[in-house]
Amino acid sequence: MVPGETEDNLHRIVVVGGGAAGLQLATKLGDTMGRRKTAHVTLVDRARTHIWKPLLHEVAAGSLDVGHHAVDYLHHAHRHHFRYRIGQMTGLDRAAKTIQLGASFDNEGREVTPVRAIPYDTLVMAVGSTTNDFGTPGVKEHAIALDTQEQAVRFHQRLVNGMLRAHTQVGPVRPGQLHVTVIGAGATGTELAAELHRTTRDVAATGMDRIDPAKDLKITLVEAADRILPAVPARLSGEVMTLLNKIGVEVRIQARVTEVRADGVQLADGGFIPSELVVWAAGVKAPPFLKDIGGLETTRNNQLVVTPTLQTTRDPAIFAIGDNAYLVEAGADAPIPPRAQAAHQQASHLIRQIPNIIAGKPLKPFKYRDFGSLVSLGEYTTVGNLMGFIQGKNMFIAGLFARFMYRSLYKMHEQALHGTIKTALDAVARALTRRTEARVKLH
């Protein structure tokens, strides 16, 4: 028994992963079962705060301050009647129905929490995904992914430090010194490229007169496929491509990266992109620790294979939702994509089904509904397609309405966590704060 855990006959629900799906699930279950003391709900995550992952490109570009949007797990758990346990999951004992957590440490290397085990009756794996570098040489050493808020903050600090260094150094700005190459033109990479084009120029305008934006600042977006945003409709991809060309972002398609070096990116066709700042956003996979964990069935990308009820194929007491779940629905040619809307829908489905688990009733299968895609290019524009809203047909949207729809997705996420009143108050507070702060974070 873990110190601080109560011993009784209540059903123990453990959610591993405090991303969009995991935190929403723990919050709603805490507000119902936890508050009524009909079950114990525990959330496990190695981080101490949560931020909605689709916002990370804005954190990296400096247009969003993490401090204004991060959710403190410990405080949130207290308010919503569930437990929060910090730690990285390292193992699973299905026979004993426990998960193992590694020790956590502070920035000075001192142990904060020890190695321990957490018991469960129902386990939900919602650990999301990590960047897949496909074994490309130099990625780990010279590129930064955007899987966590720490990585996004680190890239932004590296960007600002690089610009300060270029402004104060004795010699001229070197070729490629302030060039940013974003590898992978999915939603994250494309949105980051557009946001960086604006914010780097805003930073240079804050007195860094030795930096010439037209000559020294360059954003390059690299994609191995034959078009950017390959997972969205071709019309949407074309609209975004036109906008990127218009604002001056260089786009290279059908360009496969073979190596990332300290001074740039090597391409398979022999080309080389000088760049001392590289972001890797090309593909995702589930975290490596999931590979065959506890004898569960996993895919080549470490995802947990689940049945239509979101239960793992080899243990009905263990569920998987979000990016770490692999489910091919009946009649489908491909698995449900690793997207925020899928994670939200799966969390909502489990919220309704877990009472049936406790009551021993049959579970209903999960049905995914694709509502379309939205891509935000910051202050330039937002474009997207909404599926099935008008007599079963798709509708292409752009501009202010598309931007409103994009922002509303985040508001829906906030509302699921905090409720309507707090979400509205937070929106007002942030609007007032933006009037008194710099448009771009400079530290």
Q: What pLDDT digit, counting tens, does each position of 209-240 carry? A: 899 998 999 999 999 999 999 988 898 999 99
Q: How many domains does the chain have?
A: 3
| Statement: residue 7 has pLDDT above 90 | no
- Cβ contacts of 289 within 8 Å, gap of 6 or more: 88, 89, 90
Of 308 and 443, the structure prediction assigns the larger pLDDT to: 308
Residue 9: per-residue pLDDT: 87
Residue 367 lies in a domain: no
Q: Give the pairing of strands 11-16 and 122-125.
A: parallel
CATH of the domain at 271: 3.50.50.60
Residue 441 lies in a domain: no
- Cβ contacts of 407 within 8 Å, gap of 6 or more: none
Q: Other CB atoms closer than 10 Å to residue 42's CB: what's the count?
A: 25
Same structural domain for residues 353 and 271? Answer: no
Say how far apart CA 44 and CA 81 lie, in whole Å: 14
Of 252 and 373, the structure prediction assigns the larger pLDDT to: 252
Mean pLDDT over 396-422 rounds to 88
| Statement: residue 398 has pLDDT above 90 | no
Same structural domain for residues 224 and 239? Answer: yes
Give pairs for 91-100: CB < 8 Å, separation 24+: 91/293, 91/294, 92/123, 92/293, 92/294, 92/296, 93/117, 93/294, 94/294, 94/295, 94/315, 94/317, 94/318, 97/121, 97/123, 97/317, 99/14, 99/16, 99/44, 99/123
Mean pLDDT over 173-180 rounds to 94
Helical packing angle, 234-247 and 187-204, nearest 10°: 20
> Could you read off the pLDDT of 106-128 as tens digits, one per residue?
989 999 999 999 999 999 999 99
Same structural domain for residues 48 and 104? Answer: yes
| Statement: residue 405 has pLDDT above 90 | no
Same structural domain for residues 121 and 148? Answer: no
Least confident range from 40-54, 166-180, 378-392, 411-425: namely: 378-392
Q: Which helix (H) or strand (E) holds 350?
A: helix 340-359
CA of residue 52 relative to chain centroid, distance:
6
Residue 377: per-residue pLDDT: 87
In whole angstroms, how far apart are CA 355 and each of 4, 130, 237, 358, 437? 25, 31, 42, 5, 46
Say how far apart CA 16 and CA 229 lie, in whole Å: 30
Query: Residue 258 forms beta bridges with which residues?
Result: none
Tell me the backbone φ, ψ of residue 89, rounded to 5 degrees: -65, 130
Residue 239 lies in a domain: yes
Same structural domain for residues 29 and 124? Answer: yes
Same structural domain for residues 89 and 111? Answer: yes
Average pLDDT value over all residues in the chain: 92
Same structural domain for residues 153 and 215? Answer: yes
Q: Are 98 and 45 in contact (CB under 8 A)?
A: no
DSSP-assigned letter for residue 95: T
Instruction: Name the percent of the chain lying above pLDDT 70.
Output: 95
Q: Which helix (H) or strand (E) holds 100?
A: strand 98-101
Task: Provide the sign of the torsion angle of the four alpha carbons 185, 189, 190, 194, taken in this order.
Answer: negative
Say how far apart CA 38 and CA 27 lie, in whole Å: 15
Same structural domain for residues 314 and 355? Answer: yes
Q: Rg of the chain's alpha carbons, rounded to an integer?
A: 23
Q: Is 117 exposed, middle or buried (0-12, 13-18, 19+ CB in 10 A)?
A: middle
- Judged by phi (left if over 0) then psi (alpha if -120 to 50, else beta), residue 25 lies in alpha
Residue 378: per-residue pLDDT: 83
Residue 365 lies in a domain: no
Q: Are 303 and 130 in contact (CB under 8 A)?
A: no
End residue of a domain, out of 261, 283, 305 = 283
Least confident range from 64-73, 120-129, 301-310: namely: 64-73
Q: If pLDDT is split at 50, 70 and 90, which confidence band does 443 have?
A: low
Say how far apart CA 155 and CA 144 lie, in whole Å: 7
Q: Length of the chain in residues, anyone?
A: 443
Q: 342: closest CA among 363, 362, 327, 364?
A: 327
Q: 274: closest CA among 183, 182, 176?
A: 176
Of 433 and 314, the structure prediction assigns the larger pLDDT to: 314
Of 179 and 6, the structure prediction assigns the larger pLDDT to: 179
Same structural domain for residues 144 and 254? Answer: yes
Residue 52: per-residue pLDDT: 93
Q: Are 205 and 211 in contact (CB under 8 A)?
A: no
Print the domain residue range for 389: 372-434
| Statement: residue 390 has pLDDT above 60 | no
In whole angstroms, how far apart are CA 398 and each of 54, 309, 339, 402, 411? 19, 36, 21, 5, 19
Q: Are 177 and 164 in contact (CB under 8 A)?
A: no
| Statement: residue 336 has pLDDT above 80 | yes
